[in-house]
Amino acid sequence: MPRRSHASFFPVILPALAAAALLACAASGLGDDNQRPPRRALQRAAPSWNNDWSRGAVFYEAFVRSFQDSNGDGIGDLKGLIAKLDYLNDGNPDSTTDLGVDALWLMPVFVSPSYHGYDTTDYEHINPEYGTDDDFTTLCSEAHRRGIRVIVDFVINHSGSGHPWFVDASSGPTAAKRNWYVWSPVDLGWRQPWNLYGGADTWHQNPADGQWFYGVFWAGMPDLNIRNPEVRAEIKRLATLWLSRGVDGFRLDAARHLIENGGGLLQVDQPETHAFWRELSAHVRSVKPEATLVGEAWTDTPIIATYYGSTAPVPGGDELPMTFDFPLAAAIIQGVNTGDASVISGKLAEVQSVYPRGANDAPFLTNHDMVRLATQLGHDPAKLRNAAAILLTVPGTPFLYYGEEVGLENGSSDTDDRLKRTPMPWDASSPGGGFTSGTPWFSFAPGRETANVAVQSADPASLLSRYRALIRARHASAALQRGDLRLATAGGGGHVLAFFRAAGEEQVLVVHNVSDAIQTAGPYATTATAAETVLADSGASVSVGTGSCSVTLLPRTTGIWRLR
């Protein structure tokens, strides 16, 4: 088929110079997406998802560098993480001393020159600071033995500039890997799409030949040319490799940014990006249908909804079977902070109205790119308990950020990502905080005298104990874990978030008081005649009458009742 030039491909009128540059890009292969398999063929070839284990599961996001150091060099590693698996889930469903999570998301563990790892320089091997490929195999084996699934960050929007692919590509226009990246003979002047007027440039000059390469985040992370079928094939080969090594899926970074059709907002959410996610999804299902994918699409709810694709041909979605719910995270934090439950109920209603039928939400509170929850909530224990209870009772697959369960704070500034990724505080008595026998790679966040595992494990009223109890309650209830949601909260304000969750014959009523005053709420319509406590804070009570029920809650408390 004839190659299309970008001058006709872009749905905008470009200045003459930019059009010439893009014609040059097309001549080098940037514009060739004609070799992509048709969507219908992909759907016939690949099975459906077989990953029901992930629906309603509780995931734990771990930064290996900051979780546990096994050799005293101050850097967390895989052997350290293995040693702490029993803290996450000891494999005994009757235990009450573990957190009880079902799955681990590991932030980048592949070879990289940076502390964060999002500039990969070797996708096939584990960062030697974290251990060996064999250590990773052992981690997967030990996690699986305890019933913990493992997914890893798969950063495929871009590589690191030190990757051999880019080293070759940047050597000149005739390089073998030149078309694995996005090039222009001139600076097209695009700005980062999340900050079009104050954001950084996305085109960077190559010193070797004076041409310009595209890197939406910065020059150290050049974007891969996903239009190139060789690049797509390599991504799928790498996915197969790690699935064969035991991973249970991938967290997909920068899911909106894969393919660009121009400057401004034409750098995000393009049809070709969705087409590639369908292609990769079909490949993963064909290799390991029990695996899962979760995408990072940091945007508004209606746009996030599109990243599931269609749930008609593939239950769960023919693109990504999970996407992180950034707007719901913001709503929970705002609602808890201000005492306005309507902010949360409104967002839950929007998710119900715009997500495709059968989509599995991925709610969370904060992650590695955000100011930590304890800092955002002013270190208020009651608000932290509120937020945890809401997260672990809403529909979907909740994700916890390491340390969130003990109220780990940010550092003194939110401008440095390291301050959101400080070492895990296991205790307050040793210089290394139980994290290392040496000097930690980065200093602990303030407040570890009380925000640590040892202190909170012994306190039944601690935040850690709260998380453990909520996760146990979730596991004990099919309705909480996988049930539908029906909001019972009246619109237009209020301090109480109330909803019903139902699965099969089980129905539960969940009520959260996000205010600092006693609240009596209801009546809520129900055919139940009795209520059984699933989890109820001190002072929480429910009254079931004819055709309705009402609840009373002390400030910042939760009640969960199974209705019969």
Active site residues: 253, 296
Using only C-alpha atoms, the chain has a radius of gyration, in whole angstroms, of: 24
CA dist 47 → 283, 288, 467 (Å): 9, 9, 36
Strand 506-513: give its sheet, edge to edge. 484-487, 496-503, 506-513, 558-563, 531-536
Rounded distance between C-alpha atoms, residue 98 and residue 101, angstroms: 8
Q: State the DSSP code for 158.
A: B
Is residue 78 within 8 A of residue 64, CB to CB? The reply is yes
Burial of 44 (0-12, 13-18, 19+ CB in 10 A): exposed
What is the residue type of 341?
A: A
Rounded distance between C-alpha atoms, residue 513 and residue 511, angstroms: 7
Long-range contacts of 412-419 (CB under 8 A, 24+ apart): 412/446, 414/371, 414/375, 417/116, 417/368, 417/369, 418/115, 418/442, 419/445
Rounded distance between C-alpha atoms, residue 231 and residue 209, angstroms: 23
Residue 500: HSE in the Cβ half-sphere, 13 Å Cα cutoff = 18
Long-range contacts of 350-358 (CB under 8 A, 24+ apart): 350/301, 351/301, 351/325, 352/485, 354/301, 354/302, 354/305, 355/301, 355/305, 355/308, 356/305, 356/308, 356/309, 356/310, 356/311, 356/317, 357/311, 358/311, 358/315, 358/316, 358/317
User: Of 241, 253, 228, which is closest to residue 155 (Cα–Cα)?
Assistant: 253
What is the residue type of 504?
A: G
What is the residue type of 44?
A: R
User: Of 309, 394, 328, which is closest to residue 49 (Cα–Cα)?
Assistant: 309
Q: Show Cβ contacts of residue 317 under 8 Å, excluding neighbours closer than 6 positions.
A: 281, 308, 309, 310, 311, 356, 358, 359
Which token pair is 110?
């592949």
CA angle 59, 488, 340 (to 5 degrees): 75
3-class DSSP assignment, residue 38: coil
Q: Per-residue DSSP letters for 465-501?
A: HHHHHHHHHHHT-HHHHH-EEEE-PPSS--SEEEEEE
- Taken in order 177, 179, 181, 183, is the CA torsion positive or negative? positive
Q: Per-residue DSSP letters for 203-221?
A: EEE-TTTS-EEE-SS-TTS
Rounded distance between C-alpha atoms, residue 418 and residue 411, angstroms: 8
- Taken in order 482, 488, 494, 495, is the CA torsion positive or negative? negative
